[in-house]
Structure 1
Amino acid sequence: MSLTAHIPSHRKPRRRASKVALRAGVAGGVLSTIAVAGAAGPATAEPVTETIEMPTLTPTITAGLAASFAQSAEATQRVALGLELRAEEDAAAVKAARTAVKAHSEAEREAKAKKKAEEAAKADRAEAEATAERASRSSARTTLTPLSASSGSPSGSGSGSGSGSGAPTYSAPSKATGSAASVVAFVRAHVGDAYVMGSTGPNAWDCSGLVQAAYRQIGIDLPRVSGAQSTAGTQVSLSNLQPGDILYWGGAGSAYHTAIYVGGGQFVGAQNPSSGVVLRSLDYDRPSGAVRVL
């Protein structure tokens, strides 16, 4: 026996190959079993048998739901009708506003056109009167007969006349009496008033309107227009005028202007828009003739 046989070896004893193989086979079998079981899944799991119960629709519930649906539909329809009505009202209001604006614009245009036409007509009348007045001054007129040296001093003279001036003098009396005085006073009181075609007072006149008003205030109604006034009385000579006589320019029956003789070789008449009612000498615009009403 060796001297070292009783001393244990410090190395681990070797395992036998058979034991190692056995242990490896057992481990492999266990792992294979686990793998197969996992792959198969819960083959033995119990099926789900639990159910959910739905509520039973009774006639009462069904009727309530139907009523709710009907009310909701009716409310929706009312809202839709209301919106439709409001849209129609808004459209009508817009249309009415546009119509009103258009009517207002048309009314303004018509008013402007009417005013323009009136102004044009007024200007035409004024121009016609001015033309007639210029024509009357340039046409031949009846010459007033002057007094002779033996007739004594004249009772009146034309504008700018005086003693020894050589201007014509007139035999007509210079003072009015009775109704003639009222006619003269009336027209003299309106000297300075405006001339407006077609006006008969109280502060604006045309020529025949002033003559008619002067006689009307003493109770005599004369025709309204100059042509008729020029034949409303007895024709008198311009050399024999009396205060209150009606003077006219143009032909008797077709005169275009009239005035009142106030004495002293002067007359008062509504001349034209630029002059108004004026006091003038007969020499300023000699008349064509005269008629006596009083």
Structure 2
Amino acid sequence: MRYANHHMLTDPARPTAQLWRLALGLGIIVALFFAMSYSYFNLLAELVTQAEWPTLAQEIDAGSSPRGMLALLGIFGLITLSLTLVLRTLHHRKLLSLIGPMGKAGRDFLRVTTAIIALSVLLLILPEPDGIAPGPGLPLLRWAALLPLALPLIFIQVTAEELVFRGYIQSTLAARIRSPLVWMFLPAALFGALHWDPQVMGDNAPVYVATAFIFGLASADLTARSGTLGPAVALHFAINVSALLLTAPQGNNFGLALHLYPFTLDDTAARAIWLPYDLLQLLCAWLAARLAIGS
């Protein structure tokens, strides 16, 4: 495995890479996030009438409307803010040190984005499996009008997750423990576990967790090869744009989608047809990203 570039992320982490400091930092991030989320939702409640707030809260919880999805995506900015505070006070580092050299991160982001767009065009030529042909979601003009808000918020969301899992946890573990079995698998396992939601996914929940775990491994590999977060953010951004803006399953986080699949996340059709197809797309995107960064 060609991970020589990984030192660009682990070197800044090494002076304060004690495991107790990482565990304490994660605990503080969670506490700060929940505290700020309380204020965030109280602010949203002030923007609507008292009678309208229960409806908006339900839309946010299910991601079932454009305003609900936009509000849901916006909360991820609080994760980045919490991480920034922990880095400055506990690790004496700046947030940008989690990204790696900015020039290289930007170039690798663009290379991976270009490669995944080319792959997506190729996949459009291929027929989708039977049983998952999508139907209409948002009207085209309304969907296009929401893009200037949706795209930056999705970027904020994926960047927050990559900063925490690959930039903070992975790099800190790798600065302390050399084995990839630790610094790749532990963050990926945590990332997968946080996708556990049997109330929404039903019996499909373990499969979604496994898919998120595999995505975490792919992102960890790209991060270590590049020495920056650029490729992982690009891969995550492309996947979430596809899943949230282009075609989404019904029932959860579909409020901004142009097209809707004819099933929900707990449907057997999702497990039997869509999830294997989705996983194959992820693996193809990861391979395309590896070729794009040439590492």
TM-score, length of structure 1 as denominator length:
0.23
Structure with bigger RCO (C-alpha 8 Å, 6+ apart): 2
Rg larger in 1 or in 2? 1
TM-score, length of structure 2 as denominator length:
0.23
By percentage of residues, which structure has more helix? 2
By percentage of residues, which structure has more strand? 1
